[in-house]
Chains A and B, each alone.
Chain A
Amino acid sequence: MGAFLLRRFVFAVVLLVCTSSTALLLTRLAPGDLTSQLGPIASRSEIETTRARFDLDRSPLTQWALWATRAIRLDFGDSFLFNRPVGPLVVRAAGNTAALAVVALAIATLLGISLGILTGSRQGSRLAAFVGMVSMVCVSLPPLLTSLVFVFIAARTGWLPAGGMSSAGASDMGWVAWIADVAWHLPLPALALAVPIAAVFERLQSQSMADAVRQPFVIAAVARGVPSRDLILRHAWPASVRPLCAVYGLVIGALLSGSFIVEYVTSWPGLGQLMYQALRGRDVYLVAACAAMGAVFLAVGTLAGDLLLAAADPRVREGDGA
């Protein structure tokens, strides 16, 4: 287990360094730089000082080296667009994205697994056919479409706020009111992100549950007179959960990609939004920091997926070397 964790850690560090450095160099080598944000009437000296402040007057490699030496001391540079250090900006956005992703994952897990158990254990019933059809439709609704449709419904009915993370002036009402306000804004983007993932979970769980109830040990349990509720939840389900755990590690990629577009459509101030603004404004250090944060998310997500798989499948634990 120790060797496994060490390998994971090394992989995470490599991923972090590679993505943030590539992001920095790509943004630096892109045509145009952040001084174009100053507007056409900016004086030459103003442009020169800004370029010097962000090391744009040095060669890309020197800039990278300077940035890397500062980054080791946890100084990730300043954002030009927001005119403040990038650290707090990125951490705040990452927190918003994490809240969105965790809530979405929780919804998807609860919905997907419970419906999957239902349809998998009652194959051939009308209910199972109906749920299966609904989830087939939902699998084909990527987050771009779900968020647009939900925003449309919200705009039409006014049941939920159609965008943003909090109402104007909510931060002045005290933190209890602020949390309630955020919780009021959260369901729409979280559902938009959760629906397609829940459908994938449902299909997988349904399939593996259907396989599990045909296993000899389940039939033996039936013969012993185990009540059907225990049969499904305590005998068949634990045996059927492995394929689901295997995709958990992959879901983190879908969550990150999906949250980008959900954040954009519903104006959720998360990492995707920030990255988009930073890229468009050629805000070098902000782009690098966002990429680094994305790499951290990925590393944590894949690690969590691996641990989950190890918890669900003894063979993974035993075969440590693989």
Chain B
Amino acid sequence: MRRAGVIMLALIALVATLAPWLAPNPPDHRFGDLLYAPPTPVHIFDGDGAGPHVHAWRLVSRIERRFEDDPSSRGPLLVLGADAYGRDIFSRLLNGGRVTLALAVCATLAATLLGALIGGIAGYAGGSLDAMLSRLSEFVLVLPAIYVALALRAVMPLVLPASTVFVLLLVIFALLGWPMVARGVRAIVVSEREREYAIAARAAGASAARILVRHLLPAAGGYLRTQATLLLPAFILAEATLSYIGLGFPDTTPTWGTMLQEASNVALLGDAPWTLAPAAAIFAVVLGVNLVVQGTGRAPVQLEP
């Protein structure tokens, strides 16, 4: 089970990294007459010995969005069909995965690092600093994360370039994610601080920062890895949610969240189920993480949001 999860996640990461080379079409190219075109079947044996190729879709009815296979001409390969602008969903999915996953990975690293530092300081310092940091992290933990992310994002200018959004969401996610990490790290540091090796390091004259970073935090390594695995899908979802409601990346940037906006039109969703492809991608990541986490003997947790 655990191995299946690891393989799934590794595959997704690989495909997202190689997106520009794997995507059959440029993600922003609009095929004018292929709005909401269904996936194109690949013809391998057509009798003419032409090798694998794709027939063009011929638009039969623009109003009904009905397409017909045109064997006489070749068309673009649309593995998952096209969206409202006639853009290739598969290529956008691969390229969008890059943005979504890059943001989630960066945010996870930032939140884990911040949480480890704050938790470590709180656990090592003790006293009033510990009490204050612990109260703060409890307070952030109590709040429903998506509302806080929504509020923090909504009070910024609503239209921003994609790179600014990336940094902004990174900061917001890190600010929301650190308490999950800090609480456990604090508990570990508090108990490790009194062990012989830490006392020995102190007796040898090591500075507080050195003891914390070189001696105490490595003891929390396993815990940090588990927390990071849990934060990653939560951040993917947070990005998807914010972009879906129009408060994330601008809709010209392909991400899994902005792509899901295509699925928000109920009238068209029933006829164009391929617009749900990003939902399937998100599901694959969350399932992969849950398989990995379950392999370590923990009950799976519901990830906010």
Which residues on A are within 8 Å of B, measured CB to CB?
15, 18-19, 23, 26-27, 29-32, 136-137, 139-145, 148-149, 151-152, 155-156, 162-163, 196-197, 199-200, 203-204, 207, 251, 253-254, 256-258, 260-261, 264-265, 272, 275-276, 279-280, 287, 291, 294, 298, 302
The interface centre, meaning the residue of B147, B237, B290 with most chain A CB atoms within 10 A of its CB, is B147
Indicate if the CB atoms of A257 and B151 lie closer than 8 Å. Answer: no
Cβ of A112 to closest chain B Cβ, rounded Å: 11
Indicate if the CB atoms of B304 and A151 lie closer than 8 Å. Answer: no
CB under 8 Å from chain A, chain B span 259-305: 260, 263-264, 266-267, 269-270, 273, 276, 279, 282-283, 286-287, 289-291, 294, 299-305
Cβ of A49 to closest chain B Cβ, rounded Å: 24
Measured in the bound complex, the distance between the Cα atoms of B110 and A320 in whole Å is 38
Give the number of residues in B that approach A within 8 Å (Cβ atoms): 45
Which residues on B are within 8 Å of A, measured CB to CB?
139, 142-147, 150-152, 154-158, 237, 240-241, 244-245, 260, 263-264, 266-267, 269-270, 273, 276, 279, 282-283, 286-287, 289-291, 294, 299-305
Cβ of B295 to closest chain A Cβ, rounded Å: 12
Cβ of A247 to closest chain B Cβ, rounded Å: 9
Measured in the bound complex, the distance between the Cα atoms of B142 and A294 in whole Å is 11
Cβ of B66 to closest chain A Cβ, rounded Å: 17
Indicate if the CB atoms of A27 and B155 lie closer than 8 Å. Answer: yes
Indicate if the CB atoms of A294 and B147 lie closer than 8 Å. Answer: yes
The interface centre, meaning the residue of B150, B244, B276, B302 with most chain A CB atoms within 10 A of its CB, is B302
Please name the residue on chain A nearest to B302 by beta carbon: A200
Indicate if the CB atoms of A23 and B151 lie closer than 8 Å. Answer: yes
Indicate if the CB atoms of B305 and A145 lie closer than 8 Å. Answer: no
B273: chain A residues within 8 A (beta carbon): 152, 156
Cβ of B126 to closest chain A Cβ, rounded Å: 19
Please name the residue on chain A nearest to B287 by beta carbon: A140
A276: chain B residues within 8 A (beta carbon): 150, 154, 245
Q: Which 10 pairs between the two chains have the least Cβ-Cβ distance?
A: A30-B155, A155-B270, A279-B154, A140-B287, A257-B305, A140-B286, A256-B144, A257-B144, A257-B146, A156-B270
Partner of B279, one of A19, A23, A145: A145
Indicate if the CB atoms of A155 and B300 lie closer than 8 Å. Answer: no
A199: chain B residues within 8 A (beta carbon): 302
Cβ of A203 to closest chain B Cβ, rounded Å: 5
A-B contact pairs, 12 of them (CB 8 A): A139-B300, A139-B302, A140-B300, A144-B260, A155-B269, A156-B273, A261-B244, A279-B150, A279-B151, A279-B154, A280-B158, A298-B142
Cβ of B243 to closest chain A Cβ, rounded Å: 11
B145: chain A residues within 8 A (beta carbon): 253, 257
Measured in the bound complex, the distance between the Cα atoms of B156 and A199 in whole Å is 36
Cβ of B149 to closest chain A Cβ, rounded Å: 9
Cβ of B231 to closest chain A Cβ, rounded Å: 14
Indicate if the CB atoms of B279 and A31 lie closer than 8 Å. Answer: no
Cβ of B163 to closest chain A Cβ, rounded Å: 19
A196: chain B residues within 8 A (beta carbon): 302
Measured in the bound complex, the distance between the Cα atoms of B283 and A197 in whole Å is 16
Measured in the bound complex, the distance between the Cα atoms of B241 and A276 in whole Å is 12
Cβ of B232 to closest chain A Cβ, rounded Å: 13
B301: chain A residues within 8 A (beta carbon): 200
Measured in the bound complex, the distance between the Cα atoms of B287 and A199 in whole Å is 13
